[in-house]
Structure 1
Amino acid sequence: MNAEGPPGPAAAESAALGAEQLRVLRRVGREWGRVMAAPEVWRRALPVDPDLGRFPPVAQLRSAGSGRMVRVSALGPRAARDEDGTEGAPTGAAVRIRRVLLGVPLKSSAVVTERMRKLLALPVLSADALSSVAYGPEAMLAVLVLAGTAGLAYSLPVAGAIVFLMFAVGLSYRQTIRAYPHGGGSYIVASDNLGRTPGLVAAAGLMTDYILTVAVSIASGIAAITSALPSLAPATVPLGVGAILLLLAGNLRGVRQAGTLFAAPTYAFVAAMFALIGFGLADAAGRGFEPRPAALPAVTETVGLLLIMRAFSSGATAMTGIEAISNAVPAFKPVEWRNARTTLTWMVGLLIVMFTGIVVLIHLAQVVPGAQETTLSQLARLSFGTGWGYVFVQAATAAVLLLAANTAYNDFPRVLSLLARDGYAPRVFLRLGDRLAHSNGILLLSLAAALVFVAFDGLTGALIPLYAVGVFLAFTLSQAGMVVHWWRLRDRHWRKSLFFNATGGLLSAVVFITAGISKFTSGAWVAIVAVALFLVVTTRIRRHYEAAREALRLHPHLIELPAHSPEGPSASPERRLPEVAGGRTATAAGNGEDEELPEEIQHLSVVALATLDLAAMRTLAYAASLQQPVLALHISLTEEEARRFRDYWTLWGDHLPLEIVVSPYRAVVAPLVHCIEGLHRQHPGLTLTVILPEIVTSRRSHQFLHSRTASRLRRALRPLPKIVITTVPFHL
């Protein structure tokens, strides 16, 4: 079962109505009162009990085992379950294959936030940043070696500048954590403090970064494998695509970065790097720390400012993923912000030590990047030969790089869902899939990363020029936003915080500009064009949603009313029911679909509403005009939203029965299906007609911007007899 934003055109949570809309709503209610039977007549006509119960609050849930998925009991009496634990599960070869690959759909499930202690959060959230030492130093040297010995002489000074950048940006993100204790990613910080356009630019940089994180990490991981097993080198592209497909399948199954399973590779990599650095320094000490003699490739460039700038921006990619901890502050155990800052300090410290150690070893060993073997592999061979130590280093490197690629599968769909919430991306990216993951965002990330990986033949060196642009564009805007934040707030220690953020932002801007200029022809133009296209697409999507919202506003001269019946405006819906006893229709015997005459069919219209707009009023008018019992159903995501919708309904006149169910799990379609199943179980002989508003756009290309709730409801409810799904179109 899929869960998504509310049915119809509304956003993830129904928006509050303004004063003008409230006045129109009251006027619409008065007009309805002239043509409708009294509200109590419609309530008495209901053939079911509309009180379906409540979902348990998140605080009462406990995760099962080591996972983060927990079962949530269905509303009302439990339905009969089949052998795999799902209710009314469809069968068929396609469904069985899907379940083998992705697992059984988690009906009646919720995601519970897993609180992490620092020792667990460090490897889980730092995998991307720490693993970058596997390719950052090599990317820097790949540029400097073009100038031969003269170029390599600048390796230590350039590395020193990168280390200073790491320190400054780490300090600046400590201030971000203090200012945004509930999580402060670049998109949120830039939007809050600089405006929507800078926020979109930051989001574009972030999403480019996440796509390239997958491509670069996979490329580096495959390079670690082919360095140890050169015979696999011709299969680099198929191996990389296969790894992306494995990540896709794992994340569609709901795999999360939590637990010792995901912590082990990062700790193993840290241990491998410290062992490598320790053995390498001990070996160098034996020869008085004199660099080894080495044969360098032919000189192709002269040392100049442009070469050093390119080397600096390439090596700075070792900082990717440094903002992950500031995004995930709520995932820490209390005190969240303090634990997050401590973990960030540990991460930056480890990153600086490992980066510095690897660069020093490369300088002492005089190894240079090669097409057939990575510098890390060369260092490991010099220290450990081809024994178990070498295998351990290569295996740990490949594992942590694959894990680093997986971090993007958490962050990319999250940023995309934030954009969809704000109307800058299709609302389909708000939807949770069968396994409670943002399936559409995961699919988009996998497709984009695979295309980039294949286009650049899986070569890390070819991908690096694209990488720095997006990373440091997001860093720059985030830190600039923090400068504005402290300038406006001016609380205790604001000057110190502003200084740290200003320094980090300035240095990040220097790297961004350097990468954009020095690597423009090497591939950086691709990232810059991608950011520009992102801005165009997102602003056009936002413009469409704003036009749709304006078209859906209630207007005094466009009041949707039920049609008059032949008996007059006061005709009772009870006239249509075969028998009413005690306010409820007598239950028909059996639950088969054996009615052969119109009068044998008992009806209940269930109108699913997200908000009270023009499309909703048209849908209610259609349902009431059928002169059959009607139950309006609203799924609220919060208690506050439920109270607000109830107030609006009362202001409208409470003309039809309303049931509000609060779903605290950020899901709507799944609770809606539960409600309909609960009504069906109360009265199996009843024909339930679920009526939904449907947006129909003038351009076919715009249709995918609106939800397909009806089709998903049909698939979910197909196993149950006597349920009809229909839509009332609203043309934009």
Structure 2
Amino acid sequence: MTDRKGSRGGQSAGPPGPAAQLAQLDEEQLRVLREVGRAWERLPGSPEEWRRALPVDPDLGAFPAAAQLRPARLGRLVPLSPLGVSSPGERVDTEELPSGRLGRACAWARRFVLGMPLRSSALVSERMRKLVALPVLSADALSSVAYGPEALLAVLALAGTAGLRYSFPVSGAIVLLMLAVGLSYRQTIRAYPHGGGSYIVAGANLGPMAGLTAAAGLMTDYVLTVAVSVASGVAAITSALPALSPDTVPTGVGVILVLLAGNLRGVRQAGALFAAPTYAFIIAMFALIASGLVRAVGQDFQPRPVPAVAVTESAGLYLIMRAFSSGATAMTGIEAISNAVPAFKPVEWRQARTTLTWMVGLLIALFTGIIVLIHLAGVVPRSKETVLSQLAHLGFGAGWMYVFVQAATAAVLLLAANTAYNDFPRVLSLLARDDYAPRLFMRLGDRLAYSNGIILLSVAAALVYVAFNGQTEALIPLYAVGVFLAFTLSQAGMVVHWWRLRDRHWRKSLLFNALGGLLSSVVFITAGISKFTSGAWVAVVAVCLFLLLTRSIHHHYAAVRASLRLRPHAVELPAHTIVGPSTAPAAPDISPAPRRHATQPETSGENEELPSEIRHLTIVALATLDLAGMRALAYAASLHQPVLALHISLTEQEAERVRAYWTLWGDHLPLEIVVSPYRATVAPLVHYIEALHRQQPGLTLTVILPEIITRHRRHQVLHSRTAPRLRRALRPLPKIVVTTVPFHV
């Protein structure tokens, strides 16, 4: 909360965060704002008279500092004093209060599953250290060794024993690709220490369309990452327990729901939850490799004979390139760390580069070890049992170590999708920040996670998983196109970056990125051509649809922004015949009533029978200083009643910027700013209005909201629906009116 002189809090001013609502005004709009303020000066009623006319004290206190918060262990309540109530220990909801037993039960269950809301300042404590970041961000890449080598062999086996002989050279090329791309992304982190995913790098160096194309590839890849990881994990389970094969689809959907709940709890909690399976998988794989090498020593490293394999294709270049692109799926997720640099503890970029080095080293060691074991053991892909399961049977029999390997493999594959859950919402929030996606994806949820993006990813992945019946071999052909499209554009963007910058060691960095881009483009082209009819066309269509959708959203937001832009002779003013507050008829004495406890029922009735008996206070809920907001202020001032402007800021920095713009306008009407500690907007509005109602039960409070009305109904989802939510929340209180001032675009 802020008083009328400025915002409270010790944080310094700065640019708005991703959740901020108020866009910065350029020089032309600032000039128009000053002109509008001078026009308001010619209207009856000075700023001091408008403030004296207020029948309430708008300063209702402030939310406590982060250090004073003591969340309850369970439930949806936190011990905050409601605005305007001084009794200690009072509790208030941090979200819109549900009505009815079912609503309250759902809200309690939500808090039980997701945990208590976190204050925005807790974001620093939600950062990851390296030991947590490694399993969280590397699970996708590391777990891919469970299906990458098998995908490679499945293609080479089409040429029989002759085809399998190419497994070593093809695997060597993939290892070279891993090394080149890993070194390339180390350069990316150095060049973009605040987060340099493919969308940012390609957009900054190759243009917005290239950035969007890279984002399309990434988003497609993230959805498929969840579907493929879950499908592979369920396959590992059914290899050990064949009786569960009929329940493949419901099991996978249940896992996606668990991932959804875990990630909605927030970054740090998800990391702690998913660290153990990843480390268990690493231990299991090294144990499996060590066991196989020890067994090979006793056999003088003589490979076992390969079972007879039916020949369906010749071992030509086309087949080898297909095997290369299939095996390269073991690299998916390698870009995750460069996307998530801001999620690390300080110093972010240094921690991210170290974690990336560990991940690439582990990935190369595990991939190489599995390929060597496959060659020595002479195993080939089977329809009823995975390659890893065959290797574990050979190394450990059917004992507890076999169970451990299969359990660790299943767990890490099922949880490897967590990499996508970290990066998909982050990329989506960047797209929303740049007006290429609905702005609701910029909002941080109660647990400081991009909840809307997490939910969208879960729904999309579940649909893909069900559509392909949870079969890994059916999903793999869709996999490489999107991710290597993003790899190629990202590395090409880095080449342009180093060419422009030409700082120290730029030639070496350019060489690394050029090599990574060249190899990635080879995989992308090969996968696109060789797997097009096998399902890669689905990924191509998804990328094209993504580009069309994001461009359409961007065009709409640009049109709305142009319509709402402050410009001369477009801002409405109250009529010059307005009766100012100082000349309005004297209101009867409505001295503040004694403040009641928040749980006591109000006794004031709605029994006014004459217009003269109704006393008003008009509250303008102002989100932004644009044409819609200025029109709502003019409408409220023309009603001949006291007016209070109310702004809900999501950050202290945004509150300071609102105050600066308000002062530039002329401070003609009283303004109160509430800083929402949980990034909500409707809940603080409700709490503030309830507090004013407790302070003056005899007042009729009219809440005015500017509302964007779009020409086409399909565009309405791109804008907030605050008015209906506010009406539902305030319906139980008497003498409160919610109205909207529509602005058609």
User: Normalising to structure 1: TM-score of the pair?
Assistant: 0.91
In structure 2, the residue matched to 1:522 is: 534
In structure 1, the residue matched to 2:107 is: 99
Query: Map of 1:201-212 to 2, 5 A cutoff?
Result: 201-212=213-224
Cα 1:175–1:678, aligned 2, differ >3 Å: closer, same or farther? Answer: farther
Q: Displacement of 1:502 after TM fit? A: 1.6
Query: Map of 1:406-555 to 2, 5 A cutoff?
Result: 406-433=418-445, 436-555=448-567
501-510 vs 353-362, greater mean Cα deviation: 501-510
Secondary structure of residue in 1 paired with 2:437? coil
In structure 2, the residue matched to 1:691 is: 704
Q: Displacement of 1:487 after TM fit? A: 2.0
The one-character-per-residue Cα deviations of 1:536-555 (angstroms, maximum 9, x if unpaired) are: 11111111111111111233
In structure 2, the residue matched to 1:266 is: 278
Q: Displacement of 1:664 after TM fit? A: 7.1
Secondary structure of residue in 1 paired with 2:385? coil
Aligned AA (1:368): V
The one-character-per-residue Cα deviations of 1:141-163 (angstroms, maximum 9, x if unpaired) are: 11111111111101111111111
In structure 2, the residue matched to 1:349 is: 361
88-97 vs 33-42, greater mean Cα deviation: 88-97
Q: Displacement of 1:471 after TM fit? A: 0.9
Q: Displacement of 1:444 after TM fit? A: 1.8
The one-character-per-residue Cα deviations of 1:442-469 (angstroms, maximum 9, x if unpaired) are: 2221221112112212111111111111
In structure 1, the residue matched to 2:47 is: 39
Secondary structure of residue in 1 paired with 2:310? coil
Cα 1:87–1:616, aligned 2, differ >3 Å: closer, same or farther? Answer: closer
Cα 1:599–1:289, aligned 2, differ >3 Å: closer, same or farther? Answer: farther
Q: How far, CA to CA, are the matches of 1:607 and 1:194 in structure 2?
A: 44
Q: How far, CA to CA, are the matches of 2:504 and 2:664 in structure 1?
A: 46
- State which of 145, 158, 172 in structure 1 corresponds to 2:170: 158
440-449 vs 585-594, greater mean Cα deviation: 585-594
1:651 aligns with 2:659: no
Query: Map of 1:630-641 to 2, 5 A cutoff?
Result: 630-641=643-654
Q: How far, CA to CA, are the matches of 1:70 and 1:137 in structure 2?
A: 50
Q: How far, CA to CA, are the matches of 1:595 and 1:377 in structure 2?
A: 74
1:17 aligns with 2:25: yes
In structure 2, the residue matched to 1:170 is: 182
1:112 aligns with 2:123: yes
Q: Is the 8 A contact 1:579 1:586 kept in 2?
A: no
1:596 aligns with 2:604: no
Q: Displacement of 1:611 after TM fit? A: 1.9
Cα 1:74–1:350, aligned 2, differ >3 Å: closer, same or farther? Answer: farther
Q: How far, CA to CA, are the matches of 2:119 and 2:690 in structure 1?
A: 16
In structure 1, the residue matched to 2:146 is: 134
Q: Displacement of 1:673 after TM fit? A: 4.1
Q: Is the 8 A contact 1:588 1:686 kept in 2?
A: no
Cα 1:286–1:422, aligned 2, differ >3 Å: closer, same or farther? Answer: same
Secondary structure of residue in 2 paired with 1:612? coil
Q: Is the 8 A contact 1:45 1:573 kept in 2?
A: no
In structure 2, the residue matched to 1:297 is: 309
272-281 vs 12-21, greater mean Cα deviation: 12-21
In structure 1, the residue matched to 2:720 is: 707
Q: Is the 8 A contact 1:144 1:311 kept in 2?
A: yes
Q: Displacement of 1:20 after TM fit? A: 2.5
Aligned AA (1:26): R
Cα 1:300–1:623, aligned 2, differ >3 Å: closer, same or farther? Answer: same
Cα 1:545–1:235, aligned 2, differ >3 Å: closer, same or farther? Answer: same
Q: Is the 8 A contact 1:82 1:89 kept in 2?
A: no
Q: Is the 8 A contact 2:118 2:446 kept in 1?
A: no
In structure 2, the residue matched to 1:623 is: 636
In structure 2, the residue matched to 1:5 is: none
Cα 1:720–1:172, aligned 2, differ >3 Å: closer, same or farther? Answer: farther
Q: Is the 8 A contact 1:168 1:504 kept in 2?
A: yes
253-262 vs 289-298, greater mean Cα deviation: 253-262
Aligned AA (1:595): E
Q: Where do 5+ consecutive residues of structure 2 fail to align?
A: 1-17
In structure 1, the residue matched to 2:589 is: 579
Q: Is the 8 A contact 2:77 2:91 kept in 1?
A: no
Aligned AA (1:592): T
- State which of 316, 321, 325 in structure 1 corresponds to 2:337: 325
Q: How far, CA to CA, are the matches of 1:290 and 1:70 in structure 2?
A: 66
In structure 1, the residue matched to 2:619 is: 606
Q: Displacement of 1:206 after TM fit? A: 0.9
Cα 1:373–1:538, aligned 2, differ >3 Å: closer, same or farther? Answer: same
Cα 1:545–1:506, aligned 2, differ >3 Å: closer, same or farther? Answer: same
Q: How far, CA to CA, are the matches of 1:432 and 1:672 in structure 2?
A: 18
Q: How far, CA to CA, are the matches of 2:95 and 2:226 in structure 1?
A: 37
Q: How far, CA to CA, are the matches of 1:468 and 1:329 in structure 2?
A: 24
Q: Is the 8 A contact 1:604 1:689 kept in 2?
A: yes
Cα 1:719–1:388, aligned 2, differ >3 Å: closer, same or farther? Answer: farther
Secondary structure of residue in 1 paired with 2:606? coil
In structure 1, the residue matched to 2:230 is: 218
Q: Is the 8 A contact 1:61 1:112 kept in 2?
A: no
Between the two proteins, the alignment pairs up a number of residues equal to 716
Aligned AA (2:670): P
Cα 1:499–1:680, aligned 2, differ >3 Å: closer, same or farther? Answer: farther
Q: How far, CA to CA, are the matches of 2:382 and 2:72 in structure 1?
A: 46
In structure 2, the residue matched to 1:183 is: 195
In structure 2, the residue matched to 1:4 is: none
- State which of 36, 51, 55 in structure 1 corresponds to 2:59: 51
Secondary structure of residue in 1 paired with 2:307? coil
In structure 2, the residue matched to 1:125 is: 137
Aligned AA (1:475): F
Q: Is the 8 A contact 2:98 2:107 kept in 1?
A: no
Q: Displacement of 1:702 after TM fit? A: 1.1
Cα 1:244–1:100, aligned 2, differ >3 Å: closer, same or farther? Answer: farther
The one-character-per-residue Cα deviations of 1:515-546 (angstroms, maximum 9, x if unpaired) are: 11111111111111111111111111111111
Q: How far, CA to CA, are the matches of 1:696 and 1:228 in structure 2?
A: 57
Q: Displacement of 1:510 after TM fit? A: 1.4
Secondary structure of residue in 1 paired with 2:629? helix
Q: Displacement of 1:723 after TM fit? A: 3.7
Aligned AA (1:652): W
Secondary structure of residue in 1 paired with 2:705? strand
Q: How far, CA to CA, are the matches of 1:596 and 1:588 in structure 2?
A: 21
In structure 1, the residue matched to 2:295 is: 283
Cα 1:399–1:677, aligned 2, differ >3 Å: closer, same or farther? Answer: farther
Q: Displacement of 1:686 after TM fit? A: 3.7
Cα 1:359–1:518, aligned 2, differ >3 Å: closer, same or farther? Answer: same
Aligned AA (2:100): G
Aligned AA (1:478): S
Q: How far, CA to CA, are the matches of 1:524 and 1:79 in structure 2?
A: 63
Q: Displacement of 1:475 after TM fit? A: 1.3
Secondary structure of residue in 2 paired with 1:692? strand
701-710 vs 409-418, greater mean Cα deviation: 409-418
Q: Is the 8 A contact 1:552 1:613 kept in 2?
A: yes
Q: How far, CA to CA, are the matches of 1:224 and 1:573 in structure 2?
A: 80
1:313 aligns with 2:359: no
1:395 aligns with 2:407: yes
Q: Displacement of 1:328 after TM fit? A: 2.4
147-156 vs 295-304, greater mean Cα deviation: 295-304
Q: How far, CA to CA, are the matches of 1:363 and 1:87 in structure 2?
A: 58
Q: Displacement of 1:134 after TM fit? A: 0.9
Amino-acid identity (%): 73
Q: Displacement of 1:115 after TM fit? A: 3.4
The one-character-per-residue Cα deviations of 1:8-30 (angstroms, maximum 9, x if unpaired) are: xx984422223332332233223
Cα 1:321–1:64, aligned 2, differ >3 Å: closer, same or farther? Answer: farther
